[in-house]
């Protein structure tokens, strides 16, 4: 919890009530992008077997997260 901080310059309670707090969630696409970024965004640059397996796991997680996102979106749009 290194990113928790307080603000001392709040002038009214309204400043505290309407704060926006971003939700912190795991993002498979962000992790996949960061991993590929270290290899120049080219899978061909990855030669280590363990890192190839890690890349495959990241891709599976990305596919699953994307599928769940769109499935949830479809359920919300179409209704019960």
The per-residue pLDDT for range 26-79, each reduced to its tens digit, is: 788 889 999 999 999 999 999 999 999 999 999 999 998 888 877 776 666 655
Per the domain annotation, does 8 fall within a domain? no
Q: Are 62 and 28 in contact (CB under 8 A)?
A: yes
Domain count, the chain: 1
CA–CA separation, 52 and 31 (whole Å): 14
Per the domain annotation, does 67 fall within a domain? yes
- Which residue range is the domain that position 43 belongs to? 28-78
CA atoms within 13 A on the CB side of 24: 3
What is the model's pTM?
Answer: 0.59
Per the domain annotation, does 6 fall within a domain? no
Per the domain annotation, does 23 fall within a domain? no
Q: Are 54 and 35 in contact (CB under 8 A)?
A: yes
Per the domain annotation, does 4 fall within a domain? no
């Amino acid at each position: 919890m290194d990113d928790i901080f307080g603000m001392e310059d709040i002038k009214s309670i309204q400043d505290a009530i309407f704060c926006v707090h971003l939700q912190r969630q795991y993002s498979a696409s962000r992790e996949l992008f960061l991993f590929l970024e270290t290899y120049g965004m080219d899978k061909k640059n990855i030669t280590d077997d363990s890192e190839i397996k890690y890349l495959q796991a990241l891709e599976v997680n990305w596919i699953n997260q994307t599928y769940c996102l769109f499935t949830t979106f479809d359920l919300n749009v179409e209704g019960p």
